[in-house]
Structure 1
Amino acid sequence: MLKVWGRINSVNVEKVIWTAQELGIPFERIEAGGAFGVVDTPDFRAMNPVGRVPVIEDDGFVLWESNAIVRYLATRHGLGTLMPSDLQAQAEAGRWMDFQLGTVAAPLSALTWGIVRTAPDKRDPKALAPAFASLGAALAIVEAALAGRTYLVGESLTVADIPLACCAHRWFNMPLEGTGLERPDLPNLAAWYGRLKARPAVQGLMPTPLT
């Protein structure tokens, strides 16, 4: 059985669990990271020298880095569905996954630490403003791409959607009261996020409130 190490409130773990559930893959999740520790133990570091979650073990094959895991599971169990079989559609999906890691992840992480994991009286709105503007601009690119589309690539859910939807969950549910920050209107993104979070495979994931 597939094993997944990681805590459910990690955006990167959520990608992997969503993918496994979308594909109907049985798995065991082992709590790790954050308050659960584990990531600094010798056994975990032997699997992932970076010491981060998620990590999977699949029939003796160990893999870390969340988007690599999503691609692996989708290619092994969902080629032609979650992983497009068309080469150009694969490239498009991979592009959106890279965009999530290369453009969206850093400002989202800064806001998660600066807002979600910082007490309200300790937050620094001025320091948070650049990351908030950067994330809003990145998601505006997704907003434009979704114009007239149900999904980012093709007519069905693919690996393009999952990582960005996990990030969109945080964008739409981040507590901004008292920060002076206001989300721009992104109706296509909001509608897409609403469709995806209603999928059966997502239920129980992406907890609210954020932690």
Structure 2
Amino acid sequence: MLQILGKASSINVRKVLWACAELDLPFEREDWGSGFRTTNVPEFVALNPNAMVPVIRDGEFVLWESNSIIRYLAGRYDGEFLYPSDPCERAKCDQWIDWQASELNRAWSYAFLALVRHSPAHQDRQQIDLSCANWATHIAIVDRQLEKTGAFIAGPSFSLADIPIALSINRWFETPLQHGHFPALTAYMERLAPRAGYVEYCRNGTP
């Protein structure tokens, strides 16, 4: 059975858990990370040299990096309905998956650590305000894309790209800041509400 190493409160672990829900894929999960077993031990570092969650074991195969994991699971377990084989359609998914990791994550990092994690090292008011403004700029990009598609982030159908994007939007809503008016964003989250994976692993009160 697929093994997932990482605490369920981690946004990156929740990407993997939600993907498993969409694929109807059974798994076993072990708590690793802050508040649980430390990842800075030889047995974990042997699996992921970055000492970060999530890590999966699928038989003898080991993989880390959440976006790589969800792509692998969709490819391995008949997930073409999530991650199309057509190169153009797949590229549309990939651009939003990669953008979430490279751009959107960077935008909210300081504000989230300050306002939710209450990190003593992230309490510079000017930096918090800058991060909040940058976050709002990136959220506006998502809102415009959703207004354009009228449905999901990469097009008319739910795809693998919606998992990291929706989790980031949830983090936006769960962080105590001014959220502004993004109607397409709100409609999108309502559109996702019937999905069991969304309810359990995304919009569940966890930022």
- The RMSD of aligned alpha carbons is 1.9
Question: 1:19 and 1:52 mapped to 2: Cα distance?
Answer: 19
Give 1:1-211 correspondences, 5 Å limit. Answer: 1-118=1-118, 123-147=123-147, 148-176=149-177, 182-206=178-202, 207-208=204-205, 210=207
Q: Could you give the per-residue CA deviations for residues 174-202 of structure 1, whole angstroms, max 9, x where no partner exists? A: 123xxxxx222111112112222441122
Question: Do the aligned residues in 2 keep the contact of 1:108 with 1:167 (CA within 8 Å)?
Answer: no
For the residues of structure 1 that align with 2:199 and 2:140, how far apart are their CA atoms? 26
Contact kept, 8 Å, 1:79 with 1:85, in 2: the verdict is no
Query: Hey, what's the Cα distance between the residues in 1 that align with 2:51 and 2:79?
Result: 30
Provide the identity percentage. Answer: 37
The one-letter code sitting in structure 2 at the alignment partner of 1:118 is H
Could you tell me how far 1:209 is from its partner in structure 2?
A: 5.0
**Paired letter, 1:95:** Q
SS in 1 for 2:35: helix
TM-score, normalising length: structure 1: 0.90
The structure with higher relative contact order (CA 8 Å, sep 6+) is: 1
Contact residue 16 and residue 69 of structure 1 kept, 8 A: yes
Separation in structure 2 between the aligned mates of residue 110 and residue 8 of structure 1, nearest angstrom: 22
- Runs of 4 or more consecutive aligned structure 1 residues displaced over 4 Å after TM superposition: none
Deviation string 1:25-48 (CA, Å, 9 cap, x unpaired) is: 000111011111331111110000
Unaligned runs of 5+ in 1: 177-181
Contact 1:12 1:66 in 2 (8 A): yes
For structure 1, which segment, 14-23 or 33-42, has the greater mean C-alpha deviation from structure 2 after superposition? 33-42
Counterpart CA distance in 1 for 2:182 and 2:46 is: 43
* Cα distance, 1:109 vs structure 2: 2.3
Distance 1:79 1:198, change over 3 A: closer
1:208 Cα shift? 1.4
The answer to whether the 8 Å contact 2:73/2:79 transfers is no
The aligned length equals 204
Partner of 1:179: none
Runs of 5+ consecutive residues of structure 2 not aligned to the other structure: none
1:153: Cα distance to partner?
2.2
> Structure 2 length as normaliser, TM-score?
0.91
